């Protein structure tokens, strides 16, 4: 048996964790042995023990070990992949600054712990919100880990955009390629159909309905999370877990030939996105590395939306800089 991939998951007793752990253990990253290392805050450890009992009861052939704990440095010891899901949700009366500082404390500590303990080849995916800025905080607090090892999740938005486009055009999700989410994982994100393809044809031309793109498609994708809360009475969790698996699998194993994926990664200034922001781009991945797709033409419509979302990211960066978190 090959050496198990050591995968850390934070917030492992939460809603997303409850779906994510079983997907990871049953082969979402490929048919390979896997060790799970699960971090929780102390009061959630008891619940996490129950989840581990269920993992045991599945008798997953590829799950070699499960470690749980509330000490980040111990849990991150030797991990090859860290999925940072746990974050502090906005509570009643909490201002944006309170939310940023509560999460800042979590992601500062986790960045330092990863820096001290993770394996040399570690890749870190941040799902917990505000995901882009949490990734920026963790990255800045892990000076020995290369910046390109950090990313924030926009794959759920990417998958939502593909699904909406498939429903509108009657195409299969398999026929839709080159979808892009630009910017922040927030309501300002920009799902771009102008570079997407359906069965090899330009998606915007296949749709042929600019009003639908502007007034239905973009807001539906950007506000999907709120629609699910309205309908389900709880936030989306299984789809967030599924997207977390998709993103990690493609990062480690490579994106499909002739296609790309959306990942929020450190900007090198491509497409006018200020350098250093963790912003979503079209990327291809290979052997655990990503590259921003270059040379796409950005028209005025797309430019305005990319700029609005990256301006929000720049504001968040200013706020966490002022709080002394980065």
What whole-number distance in Å separates Cα of residue 179 and Cα of residue 169? 15
236 touching ligand NDP, by CB under 6 A: yes
Query: Is residue 110 marked as binding?
Result: yes
Nearer to ligand NDP, 102 or 314 (CB): 102
CB of 102 to ligand NDP, least distance (A): 9
Question: Tokens 């880990």 — which residue?
Answer: 145
Nearer residue to ligand NDP within complex by CB, 39 or 264: 39
Based on the residue annotation, tell me whether 185 is a catalytic residue of this protein.
yes
Site for ligand NDP in 132-171 (CB under 6 A): 156
Token pair in block for residue 295? 């040379």
- Cβ atoms of 25 and 63 within 8 Å: the answer is yes
Choosing from 7, 34, 39, 139, the residue that interacts with ligand NDP (CB under 6 A) is 39
Smallest gap from residue 25 Cβ to ligand NDP (A): 17
Order of strands, edge to edge, in the sheet holding 150-152?
A: 63-69, 34-39, 5-10, 81-84, 123-126, 150-152, 261-266, 278-286, 289-292
Tell me how far, at minimum, the Cβ of 125 lies from ligand NDP, in Å: 11
Q: Which of 185, 195, 266, 317 is an active site residue? A: 185
Instruction: Count CB atoms within 10 A of the CB of residue 261.
Output: 25
Q: What is the DSSP string of 284-311?
A: EEETTEEEE-------HHHHHHHHHHHH
Is 12 annotated to bind a ligand? Reply is yes
Residue 15 engages ligand NDP in binding (rule: CB under 6 A): yes
The answer on whether 304 is annotated among ligand-binding residues is no
User: 96: annotated binding-site residue?
Assistant: yes
Q: Segment 81-120, which members bind ligand NDP (CB under 6 A)?
A: 85-89, 106
Number of neighbouring beta carbons within 10 Å of residue 15: 16
Establish whether 90 is an annotated binding residue: yes
Q: Is 233 annotated as a binding residue?
A: no
254 belongs to an annotated ligand binding site: no
**Which of 40-48, 116-124, 186-194, 246-254 is the region at the interface with ligand NDP (rule: CB under 6 A)?**
40-48
Altogether, the residues listed in the chain come to a count of 326
Q: What is the 3-state secondary structure (H, E, C) of 60-125?
A: CCCEEEEEEECCHHHHCCCCCEEEECCCCCCCCCCCHHHHHHHHHHHHHHHHHHHHHHCCCCCEEE
Q: CB nearer to ligand NDP: give 44 or 248.
A: 44
- Selected from 128, 183, 191, 282, the binder of ligand NDP by CB under 6 A is 128
- List the one residue from 169, 235, 253, 270 that touches ligand NDP (CB under 6 A): 235
Kindly tell me which of 228 and 323 has the beta carbon lying closer to ligand NDP. 228
Smallest distance from ligand NDP to CB 245, Å: 13
Annotation-wise, does 47 bind a ligand? no
Give the tokens for residue 27.
């082969």
The maximal CA–CA distance of the chain, rounded, in angstroms, is 55
CB burial readout 24-46, b (16+ within 10 A) else e: bbebbbeeeebbbbbbbeeebbe
Contacts of 317 by beta carbon, 8 Å cutoff, 6+ apart: 133, 136, 276, 277, 326
Residue with smaller CB distance to ligand NDP, 16 or 34: 16
| Sole binder of ligand NDP in the list 11, 125, 183, 282 (CB under 6 A) | 11
Residues that bind ligand NDP (CB under 6 A): 10-11, 13-17, 39-41, 44, 85-89, 106, 127-129, 156, 225, 235-237, 240
Task: Show which residues are catalytic.
Answer: 185
As annotated, the binding site for NAD(+) includes 11-17, 103, 110, 127-129
């Amino acid at each position: 048996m090959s050496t198990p991939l050591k995968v850390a998951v934070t917030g492992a007793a939460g809603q997303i964790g409850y779906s994510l752990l079983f997907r990871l253990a049953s082969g979402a990253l490929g048919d390979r042995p896997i060790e799970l290392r699960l971090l929780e805050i102390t009061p959630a450890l008891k619940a996490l023990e129950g989840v581990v009992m269920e993992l045991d009861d599945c008798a997953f052939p590829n799950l070699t070990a499960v470690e749980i704990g509330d000490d980040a440095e111990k849990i991150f010891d030797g991990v090859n992949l860290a999925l940072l899901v746990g974050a502090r949700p906005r509570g009643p009366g909490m201002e944006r600054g309170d939310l940023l500082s509560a999460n800042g404390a979590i992601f500062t500590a986790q960045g330092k712990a990863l820096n001290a303990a993770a394996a040399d080849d570690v890749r870190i995916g941040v799902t917990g919100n505000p995901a882009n800025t949490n990734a920026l905080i963790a990255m800045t607090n892990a000076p020995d880990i290369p910046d390109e090892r950090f990313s924030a999740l926009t794959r759920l938005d990417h998958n939502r955009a593909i699904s909406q486009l498939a429903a509108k055009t009657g195409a299969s999700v398999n026929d839709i390629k080159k979808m892009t989410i630009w910017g922040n994982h927030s309501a300002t994100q920009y799902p771009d159909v102008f570079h997407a393809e359906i069965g090899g044809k330009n998606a915007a031309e296949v749709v042929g309905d600019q009003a639908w793109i502007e007034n239905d498609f973009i807001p539906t994708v950007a506000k999907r999370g709120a629609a699910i809360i309205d309908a389900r009475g709880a936030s989306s969790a299984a789809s967030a877990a599924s997207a977390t698996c998709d993103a990690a699998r493609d990062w480690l194993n490579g994106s499909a030939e002739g296609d790309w994926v959306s990942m929020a990664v450190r900007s090198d200034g491509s497409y006018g996105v200020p350098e250093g922001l963790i912003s979503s781009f079209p990327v291809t991945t290979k052997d655990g590395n990503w590259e921003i797709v270059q040379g796409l033409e950005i028209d005025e419509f797309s430019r305005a939306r990319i700029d609005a979302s990256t301006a929000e990211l720049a504001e968040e960066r200013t706020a966490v800089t002022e709080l002394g978190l980065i």
